[in-house]
Chain A
Amino acid sequence: MNILKFFTAGSVDDGKSTLIGRMLYDTGSILADQLEALQSSNRKNDDGTIDLAILTDGLRAEREQGITIDVAYKYFQTDKRKFIIADTPGHIQYTRNMVTGASTARLAIILIDARNGVVEQTIRHSYLVSLLGIKHIVVCINKMDMVDYSETVFTAITEKYRALAAQLNLNDVNFIPVSALKGDNVVQKSERMVWYEGQSLLHFLETVEIEANDDARLSRFPVQWVIRPQTDELHDYRGYAGRIAAGTFRVNDRVTVLPGGSSSVISKIEMFDQQPQEAHAGQSVTIHLEDDIDISRGDLIVNAANQPLQSKMIEADLCWMDARALDTSLTYFLQHNSKLTRCKISEIIYKVDINTLEKHSSDEFKLNDIGRVVIKTADELPFDLYDESRENGAAILVDSRNNLTVGAVMFRAAVA
């Protein structure tokens, strides 16, 4: 059994919380005492049934305001898969929350209100999904009960959305007509939409194939920690501990250590009491090299046959996440895997109006702004393009004055 992390965007009005609540409820993921707390709550639907949206509202401030203001993680499982939902609010002022939630997801659910069709926020959410490199998309056309479960309405919306998906290079797009409120096509296939021949949402989520990120040509291993016991019996022990960011490493592979470019051969791979011959993306391991090289936290071990880009000038997409605007005269920290370096944003190439997808030039970059910039780093950075490796192609910006995380960075090109 494996884990699928998915992301949901949508506003309160789309019934997103109800949809998630419905999945939890119908898969039996709500326990008796939680249900009791639900039933004693004074929020009910018009017909007196439990308001399932309460299940995903976390903080008291949110309950008072009736909105979701952060990223909430929810967990449920079926016989086939475990699911982690990153649930975020959909309004434009929560763009940074959506970017955060989308950053770890492999699949996105885009909610569309069947009465309204493709609207501004559909464009915005789809743009963010494409920006964050989520490859699999499920468009849930919700509130089908409000449009008499009409196939015509459903088809018209799918056609409109396909045009948007093409514009954003979203390839794997799937459409499901649902009513979260009534439960149609969420867990069980609905009998009220016999014209729909596809799967229910849950069945789709259980069976969609998510490709692994273990292309051996892109093998990347950021060193987090050097294990050196320095005891009598382990005097010469020196292991490089980290989590394989991408690709596959095998014993006897020739590797290069960046920065610096020293070369060596993997002599041993350890996973606690095991010594596998190979290890894959996502595994936390300890790697040993044949040669005694000076390696420390922040270094990157890569397959010698295919090295990442290296540059001090990088073109990147940036999402600004702080109330204090970007200051191009200021030095920020760039945190990329286990590496921390200083940087400046040397140029704002353009900003994107994420409601219309239009690009325009701008001198300022404020909370929730997204656009293309040039980052100038103090140290040469070994990186991959975000589209090729999410793990080695992303970074965060940290304000050196208050230590806040202020920017999400996706590398798009090395500047010559």
Chain B
Amino acid sequence: MSRYNLDYLDELEAEAIHILREVAGQFEKPALLFSGGKDSITLVRLAEKAFRPGKFPFPLVHIDTGHNFEETIDYRDRMIERIGERLIVGHVQDSIDQGKVIEQTGKNASRNALQTVTLLDTISAHGFDACIGGARRDEEKARAKERIFSVRDEFGQWDPKRQRPELWNIYNGRIHKGENVRVFPISNWTELDVWNYIRREGIELPSIYFAHERDCIVRNGQWMAASPFLNMDEEDVVYHKKVRFRTVGDMSCTAAVESDADQIDDIIAEISASKISERGARLDDKVSEAAMEDRKKGGYF
């Protein structure tokens, strides 16, 4: 027997492309959830590899909290222009205006939790039966047990006890009406794998991933970008710092890390040596040890 073994990035890429094509083959109306973060940007690249020169067999869906970094929205619009695919935007502001959710108040107010409602409404309004997301199993320990095809009931709930066994590379996407499946093609990638892939493929990212100067304040021991969305008051001291962001979420809940890494090589070096995991910079996971598990049960990405 010969010794042809794929390089790890080639293997991860081939697996993700296989999963995306299974989505295309098994579902009537899939969608790709696009957050503007590096993981969903990677998914877009993988979709190009899976379906070009054809069109994507799904639109991109962005849930816009209204508290996004401006750089993310700019990036999104330029990317859509380049790839020529359809974008559907669900606005959390609409859910607030319709009275379906209530804006949080106080210093730790965030629209992060509200977006679940907007997401579920967008899914049902368009009748999506599969939503492709960029979650990875190495992000958090509840995710370590989630399937690549993860079935949600009509309330978007994930039931960790009722997961379908997922064997070999066979994905069972059969569902009843009203249910939908969340699909995670890069489940088996680590944060470092994503960065190495972005470097190898020369993929452009929103500028906030790279070190830049910005006004910041301290919240819960972490650097946050000063913005009108933070409910700042006179007690908040504004510092001018050189920072970058390791994830792209809401301005109200995505913490910055101090960094001089303004090139992708520097970022990879920084992550390789890092002492804080990526989700450590997300305040929304910190509430309790079981925070992620609770949110997933409620239909979070």
Contact = CB atoms under 8 A, between A and B. Distances in A.
Interface stretch (B92-100, B167-175, B205-213, B228-236): B167-175
B293 interface: yes
Interface residues of A, number: 73
B21 A284 contact: yes
A33 to B, nearest CB: 4
A234 B55 CA distance: 12
A151 interface: no
Interface in B1-41: 1-8, 10-15, 17-18, 21-22, 24-25
Interface of A: 1-3, 31-34, 37, 41, 57-61, 63, 69-75, 77, 82, 84, 96-97, 99-100, 103-104, 209-212, 214-215, 224-225, 227-229, 234, 237, 241-243, 248, 271-272, 280-284, 297, 321, 333, 335-338, 390-391, 394-396, 398, 402-405, 408
Nearest to B11: A3
A297 B13 CA distance: 21
B82 interface: no
A358 B290 CA distance: 43
Contact of B276 (A1, A33, A243, A405): A33
Given A73-B188, A210-B5, A404-B164, 15 more contacts: A31-B276, A33-B275, A75-B137, A75-B138, A100-B167, A212-B1, A224-B24, A241-B50, A243-B15, A283-B10, A284-B15, A297-B25, A333-B174, A337-B170, A403-B176
Given A59-B160, A284-B14, A237 B53 contact: yes
Contact of B170 (A63, A212, A284, A395): A395
Chain B interface residue bracket vs A: 35 or more
A284 B293 contact: no
Q: Among B144, B274, B290, which residue has the most Cβ atoms of chain A within 10 A?
A: B144
Contacts of B188: 73, 75, 84
B172 A242 contact: no
Contacts of A73: 137, 144-145, 187-188
A221 B11 CA distance: 17
Given A59-B160, A210-B5, A99 B22 contact: no
B239 interface: no
A37 B286 CA distance: 10
Q: Among B21, B187, B193, B275, which residue has the most Cβ atoms of chain A within 10 A?
A: B21
15 contacts: A33-B276, A58-B141, A75-B190, A82-B8, A103-B168, A211-B1, A214-B2, A225-B25, A234-B53, A241-B21, A243-B14, A243-B15, A335-B170, A394-B168, A398-B174
Interface of B: 1-8, 10-15, 17-18, 21-22, 24-25, 48-55, 57, 137-138, 141-142, 144-145, 160-161, 163-170, 172, 174-176, 187-188, 190, 192-193, 274-277, 280, 289-290, 293
Nearest to B286: A33
A391 B1 contact: no
Nearest to A400: B174
Nearest to A69: B161
Contacts of A242: 18, 21
A352 B21 CA distance: 37
Contact of A32 (B15, B49, B275): B275
A271 B10 CA distance: 11
Contacts of B5: 2, 210, 212
Contacts of A297: 25
A57 B15 CA distance: 26
Nearest to B13: A284
Contacts of A99: 165, 167
Contact of B14 (A84, A104, A228, A283): A283
Contacts of A71: 145
Q: Among B10, B164, B170, which residue has the most Cβ atoms of chain A within 10 A?
A: B170
A31 B163 contact: no
A215 B4 CA distance: 10
Contact of B165 (A77, A82, A211, A321): A321
Contacts of B289: 37, 41, 60, 63
A282 B142 contact: no
Contacts of A63: 289
A224 B21 contact: yes
* A-B interface, 9 closest residue pairs, ranked by CB to CB distance from nearest: A32-B275, A33-B280, A284-B17, A403-B174, A224-B21, A31-B277, A243-B18, A284-B14, A103-B167
Contact of B51 (A104, A211, A227, A404): A227
A385 to B, nearest CB: 15
A327 to B, nearest CB: 18
Contact of B7 (A2, A272, A281): A2
A31 B5 CA distance: 30
Contact of A391 (B4, B49, B169): B169
A99 B166 CA distance: 10
A104 B168 contact: yes
B280 A31 contact: yes
A104 B169 CA distance: 8
A97 B166 CA distance: 9
A58 B10 CA distance: 29
Contact of B277 (A33, A77, A100, A212): A33
A198 to B, nearest CB: 23
A405 B51 contact: no
Contacts of B17: 243, 284
Contacts of A41: 289
A69 B57 CA distance: 36
A96 B165 CA distance: 8
A409 B55 CA distance: 35
A368 to B, nearest CB: 11
A84 B18 CA distance: 18
B48 to A, nearest CB: 7
A408 B25 contact: no
Contacts of B164: 404-405
Contacts of A404: 164
Nearest to B45: A272
Contacts of A225: 21, 24-25, 50-51, 57
Nearest to A231: B53
B190 A100 contact: no
Contact of B172 (A34, A212, A237, A405): A405
Contacts of B187: 73
B8 A2 contact: yes
Contacts of A403: 172, 174-176
Q: Among B14, B167, B175, which residue has the most Cβ atoms of chain A within 10 A?
A: B167
